[in-house]
Chain A
Amino acid sequence: MTIDTTPPRIKKAGSANADVTEPVLRVEGLEVTYYTDLGRARALDNVGFTLNSGEKLGMVGESGSGKSTMALAMMRMIKPPGRIEGGKVIVGGTDLMSLSEDGMRKARLNKIAYIPQGAMNSLNPVMRIGAQMADAIRAHVKSESRSSIEDRIARALRSVDLDPSVARMYPHELSGGMKQRVCIAIGILLQPNVIIADEPTSALDVVTQRQVMETINRVQSEINAAVILIGHDMGLMAQAVDKVAVMYAGRLVEMATVREMFTDPKHPYSQALISSLPNLDNKGVFQGIPGLAPSLLRLPKGCAFHPRCPYGQRELQSTVRPEPVILPGGRMVTCHLYSEEGHAHD
């Protein structure tokens, strides 16, 4: 006798086909500054983008480029000495920045879920998996009956290809890949509109990595959420996402579909990233990116990338900050090469 274990698709209010045109996530002008003993660090500078339901966005950049800060800012989890200075994060029509503390707490996990880096190592070692998941539900939903909570847990576990009996186990009884899938399950417990996964596969070996990425794909299509994958491995992005956003020194320098990014990157930094990728056909060829990423405490004047840019010798780059430009086709680039001032100077 076979039991149908496919979880029923729960339609969220307003998530019907009417919302095809309205993006489920819209970020505008997000700014975050850290006030440290050594000065002010501009961690996020006027970051904005949109994402539709069912889309996967890969966010790449070096350490310190602002990708994790962006996730934390969207969840309003920035702690002192950091501060969100401005911007909007509109999920399913509600601006998260305008919510009260209580409202935001309800929005977390419900509307927007965050799976942090190293989540699998942060599972409580002395609590059973099921208890931790129940905790997560109760923290963000006013009142749910016990059986309803158990239902959600079982459903979430099945979505990530784990048997519901895992709920009775302790984290140390699970492998790395299984623990990471538990973290994904926690993220989808309340079927949010947006899921942010920060380096979900960084400590995992290559086969488990593929499994986890495939799991994320599957849960996304089940609940039709938008997924933001933060990482620095372009190879994973090529395999897993629809759109790619490149972060550099706190700014979003380019955003395009994955095909556009890999075949025709526009921003010089993206170009350098793509050409440094190893491939089966160029064994032995190593091409890194010269120079070092700037410290956020001492950003270069003008364009943050200009000291390392092969086209960055003109005065414009060192004095004026480039603004995001929308190119024909919908892709976005923050670079003087494509801006009006840039062309005016030619």
Chain B
Amino acid sequence: MTTTPMADTEPQAIRQPSNLTLFLRYLRRNKGLAIGVLILIGLTLFTVIGLLTVNPKQAYPLSVALKQPPSLKYPFGTDFYGRNLLVAMVYGMYQTALIGLLAGGIGTAIGVVLGFTSAYFGGWIDATIRTICQILTPIPVLLIQVVVAGSLDKRDVTILTMSIIVAMLAWMGPTLVVRAQVMTMKERQFVSVAKLSGVSDMGIIFKEILPNLLPFIAAAFVGQVFSAVFASFYLAILGLGPLREPLLGNLIWAAQNQGAFFNGWWWWPIIPSCAMILILGALALVNMGLDELANPRVRRTE
């Protein structure tokens, strides 16, 4: 006797609220992520509008009146070298973002490629990559960065070289994280089923496993951007950045050099410092928020 399916009089489609609504509701619960995202949006707007409106020349020395406190003409004041701090900030943030994204991108990309290769192919490839990571991880990153940056000729230190210096010891984390995730994921049954459906090894990596890793990769990327931005700050504060550029760290280093506080030019170091705190804080909040998003077990319910 066969079973005939009775017509389902119960309509299957429950009207789902749109993805945007669900996302906004989630933001309301995850306030950390929401605040972080808002701050970043604010800073981005500031930078973008700034880039479109201000005169870039004013970010460099001897372009405006020296040592002016904040006023209507110069909302953030000017510094010892004659830089309009507002313009300098705009460009400084732009360059910081560049370094962050560039170094963060390089670090994450290396991590993804090495992590995948290591986990999927296993054997001696895995052992080699893993050992290299484990050897390099305990190395004090700050010291190496300072040594490398310090030994370069001042003219060679550009945004690009800074990004490379920052990224060169940052890729181990993402590699190990991606590796761990891929190792668990390749044992999952949907990978077995994909194999039974004729999918090749490459197909499994790119079409089956990679899409599921996007949340982790995104979280790793934000983490990388955070460390890259942080590294660019402290290297610049130590005077090891590309000194000509109006990087936020550079501004503070210059201010310290000239004894800004003692001379009463308080706006010079304070304003870039506030900007730094905002940037790092926002990145940290977004990082923690993404962590919660990617790991549903941590999610709080309404």
Q: Verify whether A and B have any Cβ pair under 8 Å.
A: yes
Q: A-side interface residues toward B, CB under 8 Å?
A: 35, 37-39, 79-81, 285-288, 290-292, 294-295, 297-298, 300, 307-308
A219, B293: Cα distance in complex, Å: 44
Q: Which residues of A contact B3 (CB under 8 A)?
A: 286-288, 290
A308 CA to B8 CA in the complex, in Å? 8
CB-based nearest B residue for A307: B9
Tell me if A81 and B301 are in contact (CB < 8 A): yes
Which residues of chain B are within 8 angstroms of A292 by Cβ–Cβ distance? 8, 10
Interface residues of B in 284-302 (CB under 8 A from A): 301-302
Give the interface size class of chain B: 10 to 19
Task: Report whether B6 and A295 are in contact in the complex, using a CB–CB cutoff of 8 Å.
Answer: no
Kindly report which residue of chain A lies nearest to residue B5, judged by CB atoms: A290
The answer to whether B198 has its CB under 8 Å from any CB of chain A is no
Shortest Cβ distance from B302 into A: residue: A81
Stretch in B14-22, B85-93, B184-192 with 4+ CB within 8 Å of A: B14-22
Give chain B residues whose Cβ lies under 8 Å from the Cβ of A297. 14
**Contact across chains for B5 and A291 when beta carbons are under 8 A apart:** yes
Minimum C-beta distance from A342 to chain B (A): 20
Main secondary structure of the interface of A (DSSP, over half): loop
Residues of B within 8 A of A (CB): 1, 3-6, 8-11, 14, 16-17, 22, 25, 301-302
Nearest 3 CB-CB pairings of A with B:
A290-B6, A307-B9, A291-B6
| B residues in contact with A79, CB < 8 Å | 301
Report how far A292 CA is from B9 CA in the complex, Å.
Answer: 9
Contact across chains for A38 and B17 when beta carbons are under 8 A apart: yes
A286 to B2 CA separation, bound complex (whole angstroms) = 7
Given A288-B3, A300-B9, answer yes or no on A80-B302 (Cβ-Cβ < 8 Å): yes
For this complex, 17 residue pairs linking A to B, each with C-beta atoms less than 8 Å apart, are A35-B302, A38-B17, A80-B302, A285-B1, A286-B1, A287-B1, A287-B3, A290-B5, A290-B6, A291-B6, A292-B8, A295-B10, A295-B14, A297-B14, A298-B11, A300-B10, A307-B9
Cα A200 to Cα B132 with chains together (Å) = 47
Q: How far is the CA of A60 from the CA of B83 in the complex (A)?
A: 78
Q: Which residue of A has the minimal Cβ distance to B15?
A: A38
A295 to B5 CA separation, bound complex (whole angstroms): 17
Looking at the assembled complex, report how far the CB atom of B205 sits from the nearest CB atom of chain A, in whole angstroms.
30
Q: Which A residues touch B8, using CB under 8 A?
A: 291-292, 307
Docked pose: A39 CA to B6 CA in angstroms: 27
Shortest distance from the beta carbon of A204 to any chain B beta carbon, whole Å:
21
Query: With A294-B10, A298-B11 given, is the CB distance from A37 to B17 under 8 Å?
Result: yes
Per DSSP, are chain B's interface residues mostly helix, strand or loop, or mixed? loop
> Which A residues are CB-close (under 8 A) to B17?
37-38
Contact partners of B11 in chain A: CB under 8 A: 298
Contact of B10 with A307 in the complex, beta carbons under 8 Å: yes
Residues on A with C-beta less than 8 A from B25 are: 37
Min Cβ gap B22→A in Å is 6
Residues from chain A with Cβ under 8 Å of B9 in the complex = 300, 307
Q: Bound complex: CA of A285 vs CA of B2, how far in Å?
A: 9
A289 nearest in chain B by CB position = B3
Which chain B residue shows the least CB distance to A276?
B3
Measured CB to CB, the closest approach of chain A to B102, in angstroms, equals: 38
CA distance A342 to B8 in the complex (A): 24
Q: Which of A35, A37, A80, A287 has the most CB of B within 10 A?
A: A37
Nearest opposing residue in chain A for B22, CB measure: A37
Contact between A38 and B14, CB atoms less than 8 A apart: yes
- Determine if A290 and B10 form an interchain contact, defined as CB atoms under 8 angstroms apart: no
Q: Please, which residue of chain A has its CB at the minimum distance from the CB of B17?
A: A37
- The complex places the Cα of A290 from the Cα of B8 at a distance, in Å, of 9
Give 5 A-B pairs besides A288-B3, A291-B6, A307-B10 with Cβ atoms closer than 8 angstroms. A35-B302, A38-B14, A80-B301, A290-B6, A295-B14
- Shortest Cβ gap from B217 to chain A (Å): 26
A297–B25 Cα gap in the complex (Å)? 20
> Which chain B residue shows the least CB distance to A292?
B8
A295–B1 CA distance with the chains assembled, in angstroms: 28
Nearest chain A CB to B110 CB, angstrom units? 35
A81 to B11: give the CA distance in the assembly, Å.
24
- Cα(A288)–Cα(B6), bound, Å: 11
Chain B residue at minimal CB-CB distance from A285:
B1
CB neighbours of A286 from chain B (8 A): 1, 3
**What is the bound-complex CA distance between A294 and B6, given in angstroms?**
13
Q: Is the CB of A298 within 8 A of B16?
A: no
B1, B4, B10 — which one has the most chain A CB atoms within 10 A of its CB?
B10
Specify the chain B residue showing the minimal Cβ separation from A300. B10
Question: A39 vs B14: C-alpha distance in the bound complex, in angstroms?
Answer: 9
Nearest Cβ on chain A to B25's Cβ, whole angstroms: 7
Nearest residue (CB) in B for A284 is B1
How far apart sit A265 and B196, CA to CA, in the bound complex (Å)? 45
Q: Say yes or no: A298 contacts B1, CB within 8 Å.
A: no
Q: Which residue of A lies closest to B4 (CB)?
A: A290
